Structure 1
Amino acid sequence: MYVLIAAAGQGKRMGHDRNKLLLTLQGQPILAWTLARVLHAQPKWVGVMAQPADWPAIQTILTHLAPPLPVDIIPGGDTRQASVWNGLQALPPAADTVLIHDGARCLASPALFHRCQAALSTAIGVIAAIPVKDTIKVVPNPPVIAQTPERAHLWAAQTPQGFQVTILKACHAQALAQQWQVTDDAALLERCQYPVQVVLGEDTNLKITTPPDLLIAQALLNHGL
């Protein structure tokens, strides 16, 4: 298992002027929780894409975690897509599959990483996802609703997302050449006409984006998650 962690964001929606992954959750940076979950899954290699300004703080986290394997810190890009491209270039030559995980999803279980990795034995691409619980409205011109999609067909995407490395690199290269912008790597494979398989995710695998998310994560940890 080879894992790339996207950690190059700025945390604007969190209301801070620094990387939200360096904010504390029960006394530890959010990224420390994420790394601990990833490392518990016993990967062969881990790479963290981050902005150079955050590297000293990440090195401090790694010193405290004392991981059983070296963790490479990779320059982050201006977008998540650019960061993943940088991470793909840093993969060890032996990596034929890769799991990509958002650093802000600090509560993903090690078992979820193993389920995604196992699915790659027969799939080109996989994503963790869960069925949506809310009714979704399409509102292209607020405040008027244009459509209400059938909820039974809607899933909320999570990470990790896993891919065959050769195909993912080719899709990223095509995106660069044609200036595509996507919000996750699954969308990139979809655009290149490759099938992406869903692996059942976890309700507790929330992405910490806003201050209320931090409170929810705190509550989940207080209950022993």
Structure 2
Amino acid sequence: MHLLIACAGSGRRMGAERNKLLLEVSGRPVLAWTLDAALASESVRWIGVVGQEIDRPDIEALLKAANPGIPVQWIQGGDTRQDSVCNGLAALPPEAQSVLIHDGARCLVDPALIDRCSAAVDAGAAVIAAAPVTDTIKRVDGDGVIQDTPDRSVLWGAQTPQGFPVEQLRQAHAQARGEGWSVTDDASLFERLGWPVRVMESSPSNIKITTPFDLTIAEAVLSAR
């Protein structure tokens, strides 16, 4: 399996002055834990790390320290996550038929989840890791007034990895560029095109590090492990 790790974000919502993936949790950068999980996977055979040039020296130092036994390639990111994934797809080796895309900020991902997603994609499916929603969700208008309460039994919180057949995902991104679509994850492109995407149930612990509180949660989970 070919894996793209999206690392081109920033630390704005974290209130940090640098890429949040370079902040420490349990004594190591967030990205170091993400790399550990990817390298512990039995299915991943190639990794592309998509980042910004300003972070390249720090990220490449982490990659060297990880001492990967598989090829790991630096890929220049774009202005948006969507652009960065496009760059990642363009940089895949010619033989790549399936790809997983994982947010570098999801440092608690279980290697077994990566492998389950890999198996489904290799069988021809498009999948996303997700967890059932347990909170009651309210739909609210621009004035902060509740409009309705969706049935949470059909709601799932989208996570990563997300996996797709490579050529199908390239086609989806090409159409998005042509139509001017802007999406926050790759599954949304498949949804717009009417292509099925399966949910691969994951743990709620597979959080995305976004705020300082998330660092506290990740610290607690890593300590428990």
Q: What does residue range 31-180 of structure 1 map to in structure 2 within 5 Å?
A: 31-42=31-42, 43-180=44-181
Q: What does residue range 11-50 of structure 1 map to in structure 2 within 5 Å?
A: 11-42=11-42, 43-50=44-51
Task: Kindly provide the CA deviation profile for residues 165-216 of structure 1, in whole angstroms up to 9, marking residues without a partner as x.
Answer: 0100000000011110001000011111100000111121011000000000
Task: Kindly provide the CA deviation profile for residues 138-183 of structure 1, in whole angstroms up to 9, marking residues without a partner as x.
Answer: 1122310111100101000000000010100000000011110001
Give the letter for the 2:3 counterpart: V
Structure 2: gaps (5+ residues): none
Identity of aligned residues (%): 55
Structure 1: gaps (5+ residues): none
Task: Kindly provide the CA deviation profile for residues 58-77 of structure 1, in whole angstroms up to 9, marking residues without a partner as x.
Answer: 11101211111231010111
SS of 1:120's equivalent in the other structure is: helix
Cα distance change on mapping 1:81 and 1:204 into 2, 3 Å = same
Task: Kindly provide the CA deviation profile for residues 79-138 of structure 1, in whole angstroms up to 9, marking residues without a partner as x.
Answer: 110000000000111110100000000010110001111112444310001110000011
Kept in 2, the 8 Å contact 1:123–1:197? The answer is no
Q: What does residue range 195-210 of structure 1 map to in structure 2 within 5 Å?
A: 195-210=196-211
Aligned-CA RMSD value: 0.9
Task: Kindly provide the CA deviation profile for residues 14-33 of structure 1, in whole angstroms up to 9, marking residues without a partner as x.
Answer: 00121000001112110011
Q: TM (normalized to structure 2)?
A: 0.97
Distance 2:119 2:175 in 1: 27
Kept in 2, the 8 Å contact 1:123–1:196? The answer is no
SS of 1:181's equivalent in the other structure is: coil
Distance 2:67 2:215 in 1: 25
- Residue-pair matches, total: 224
Give the letter for the 1:7 counterpart: C
Q: TM (normalized to structure 1)?
A: 0.97
Kept in 2, the 8 Å contact 1:51–1:75? The answer is yes
Distance 1:218 1:75 in 2: 30
Matched, 1:2 2:8: no
